[in-house]
Structure 1
């Protein structure tokens, strides 16, 4: 067993102190390493850069440590000289779900940030002792690691050790059971005043998903580790827990009679990360079995693992009764709008986006919307199309649900990785019709998906219009806006004027030479102070507008030839109540006379 001891005697310094006791060290040499990325977030993050100091001793004497490369260290222990103790410090001030954080109010870490691996001994069990300083003695600990009767925590191996994040703070702990499995919802940074509603809604999500995949759940307990901040949002899945970041305004309040939009978004995030417990944590792409945490792990299948999850996260809220059919359609409208407005959707394929996640999706710049597609949003739309095609060709007797359960049976329960093309083959089997042409179009081309036609077959009306403003993310309007011309850019207000954030390919602004980072000061010699001043309802397409803008403190005068704003905002509505998606097929059959 490998013994880790973690302490933080001075939390305000943001330094975790870690000690690793290594029994029976190999006199031929010991190699230590820290992962360079964390599963679920596909970017090389170089966690070893936060190690401040590393030293070792054996038998009371210092043992030389040689750094081999960016994330590995080598020791040469003496034979028969006893255990080796490795001590190091980790700087932890990353307020995200991916790294480690420490101050005088809270401690949080993922094992990938703080626990060194002993190469060749990753299969050994690990024990972790966490020592709280006197000033933090009242803090609590929450983690998916197994508590030991004698104190401390245990993991079966290094893989489990780094897949169970730890929250340490004075937090709110909400406990409940879903399908007889203990769950805990941990809130740091704020107290949920309507804890009863939060617990009831999260329990509904968990119970539906456990039954969706088939009981029993593949874990004995589950933790939602939630940090509440002023404006945070995000999540990262783990085998029996998830790390969440949300805003205080997202939490439900006792006086709210309905579920507000921000709370529905939080429930969607919870649903998304919980669904990952099966799809990506246990049903993995073949390229991730096993993970290689020393370098990028390339796969063309992230559209499946993130996109299908993004499809089901809100759909299962609808099936659980937590959102209405109209609310679901509004969310789906916004997903379609996000893909349609993104010029990169016509440039990059989903398989390319999956492969390039390591260098593109997690490293976006001002040109990213013009060059890449989100495997989350477009992947969700591919899942929707697949679901509708299976239902159509099977005469309503099969759905995407059956594909997911087949994936669980063939890959999740066996530990085998999903090979490329397996999802497509299972979908074809469930449809009873060859879907290869659809997948060729959806995954390996950048052509438009047949969404409009498939939704129309289900009685869903499609509205295509101009956006009202930048805040308009999509949805049905009873009254369409009047057509207007404009610059076609995304801006944000700054003291000097309007800063250009994004210039879509082919827009009037791009043709005139405006670029991201430019600060527009005036249009037609009038000072601008708000986004509305870049909208010209009375202007005609082809009319020129004089724009004054600063670029790197140099004033430029440009003439922008206005173009009619593109109709890339989508709205959906249905008079039938979305029964075809609102319930699983088994639910529908229960309700049949």
Structure 2
């Protein structure tokens, strides 16, 4: 039995989608419908049902009682005929997770707009997507990987999905967007960019083709989809991505995109390519190779797993590794990115308190709900997970004399769990990932996994990188903008407050106060607005120079507002901690050069 949906951009100025659901065989006891509370890939309860502004039921043209039974569910009165549910969804979430609608574009994830029919989630779904009314929208078109069911390519009309899970895993972009296409390993790919931009689409197409073909071949042809779409919203200030089974929703700063006159890969464009690489890799690692806790998803509540380090962290490892392996960046550029990741992890005291498994498990209450104390209490399973993946890859390569690598583990995961997931529906059990890694490599990896996943000890990065000819440097930061990288010149000690800052109007705001730092020891707190240091005004432009002008380990008087009260603090400055990483290639013997190239160029 088919569930039918109709979605219309009904009121662009009021940002409302109108949605109808037609249920041919409703539950005779009274059909329940519900909207998911979260979206796969973004592990936070988001309460999408709060955006339903009006909802009603009818059958055979007559109104029917519809009772709300919890925060995201409704139950209709019993009826023998076709049940119709009509509702409006407020769509003003300019992110990759929700729904958005105005006179410039429309976008939605199914989790935000399509009610599920309880007990009939396995039924096929038909969707009619209608165009907005008005001649000014005659050039609007659609980008989605939903299968067409009457609609012409890129046009409004009929689409279909095998079940509800498939229905909500194909976001839809609508508007007068830019589009360019290419094939990777014979598979059609589209790049769609909404928003104003001046991107060199031919350059973007060429670079993304390299990324896609590399990752398809890493896991083995054919690709697990018949068509793929990169949906990108270009903004003045934006960044983010969310994976789906055959597409990704992306946001970027329009200046991140390449321009026709640019011949080099600028830093911002490199970051965007890394984001595309990350989300594309998820087509295998999390969309099809899944934790058992997600097979299937329970979208009404939190789904706990200790394996997110493997699904997000390993994906974060391969995103930039793909760039160097495809020649889009140099080996030294890759090491600079790696050094920035190491620096980011070293600068959070939470790494000494939270393990990677705990970080994965607690994502629902910590990672996606970060506050001013987060650097002191948590570590990112993305960043530290990527470093754990690096350590595992290098360890396997070194202990098997280059015969095995993390690549082999990922291919084995694909063959055992991912390739036939649509048929078997089997996810990776909590202990199975480690067991498979040991099986594939022939190594006893228990002590390694105990160290990197279940302890807060430092990762063995320096020793493992030395084994592939990478020099290691840990130094103090030379200012707030220093995110890592090798510095040849030995620099004098730098004074620090032991806090992170941001701008709030004309003030410097302490956004995070780090454990044991000078600010915390003096009584300064997150949220305080710095006014003056030793009777000189503090600004975002002069804070570093004011600190540098003070005697080493000297004491300063700081005036700050806390709420609306002026407070005075005597701060004993500290030297900046050596928590900033630099990495560089060193000349190697032929044997070590082969090992390093196998890692970075395979």
TM-score, with structure 1 as normaliser: 0.96
**Which of 205, 210, 222 is matched with 1:216 structurally?**
222
Q: Distance in 2 between matches of 1:576 and 1:261?
A: 26
For residue 538 of structure 1, report the CA deviation from its aligned partner: 5.2
1:505 and 2:515 equivalent?
yes
**Which of 320, 323, 333 is matched with 1:317 structurally?**
323
**Which of 337, 345, 369 is matched with 1:363 structurally?**
369
Partner secondary structure for residue 384 of structure 1: helix
For residue 119 of structure 1, report the CA deviation from its aligned partner: 0.5
Q: Distance in 2 between matches of 1:161 and 1:250?
A: 31
- Residue 348 of structure 1 corresponds to which residue in structure 2? 354
Cα deviation code 1:268-318 (max 9, x no counterpart): 000000000000000000111110001000001111100000000000111
| RMSD value, Cα | 1.5
Partner secondary structure for residue 8 of structure 1: strand
1:437-448 paired onto structure 2 within 5 Å: 437-448=447-458
> Contact conserved, 2:30 with 2:79, CA < 8 A, in 1?
no
- Residue 94 of structure 1 corresponds to which residue in structure 2? 93
User: In 2 relative to 1, CA 221–482 (structure 1 residues): closer, same or farther, beyond 3 Å?
Assistant: same
- Residue 154 of structure 2 corresponds to which residue in structure 1? none
Q: Distance in 2 between matches of 1:581 and 1:238?
A: 33
> Contact conserved, 2:400 with 2:441, CA < 8 A, in 1?
yes
- Residue 398 of structure 1 corresponds to which residue in structure 2? 404
- Residue 591 of structure 1 corresponds to which residue in structure 2? none
> Contact conserved, 1:394 with 1:430, CA < 8 A, in 2?
no
For residue 579 of structure 1, report the CA deviation from its aligned partner: 5.9
1:111-122 paired onto structure 2 within 5 Å: 111-122=110-121
Q: Distance in 1 between matches of 2:460 and 2:450?
A: 13
Structure 2 gaps of 5+ residues are 152-156
Partner secondary structure for residue 9 of structure 1: strand
Q: Distance in 2 between matches of 1:209 and 1:573?
A: 26
- Residue 68 of structure 2 corresponds to which residue in structure 1? 67
For residue 131 of structure 1, report the CA deviation from its aligned partner: 1.1
1:68-467 paired onto structure 2 within 5 Å: 68-79=69-80, 82-135=81-134, 136-149=137-150, 151-415=157-421, 416-467=426-477
Partner secondary structure for residue 182 of structure 2: strand
User: In 2 relative to 1, CA 219–444 (structure 1 residues): closer, same or farther, beyond 3 Å?
Assistant: same
Cα deviation code 1:164-212 (max 9, x no counterpart): 0000010011111100001101000034431111000001100000000
Cα deviation code 1:84-136 (max 9, x no counterpart): 21100000000000000000111000000000000111111111111112322
Partner secondary structure for residue 211 of structure 2: helix
1:572 and 2:571 equivalent?
no
1:482 and 2:483 equivalent?
no
- Residue 556 of structure 1 corresponds to which residue in structure 2? 567
Structure 1 gaps of 5+ residues are 589-593
1:510-589 paired onto structure 2 within 5 Å: 510-534=520-544, 535-537=546-548, 539-576=550-587, 580=595, 583=598
Q: Distance in 1 between matches of 2:285 and 2:220?
A: 13
Q: Distance in 2 between matches of 1:362 and 1:110?
A: 19
Q: Distance in 1 between matches of 2:495 and 2:198?
A: 45
> Contact conserved, 1:318 with 1:582, CA < 8 A, in 2?
no
Partner secondary structure for residue 386 of structure 1: helix
TM-score, with structure 2 as normaliser: 0.95
User: In 2 relative to 1, CA 139–419 (structure 1 residues): closer, same or farther, beyond 3 Å?
Assistant: same
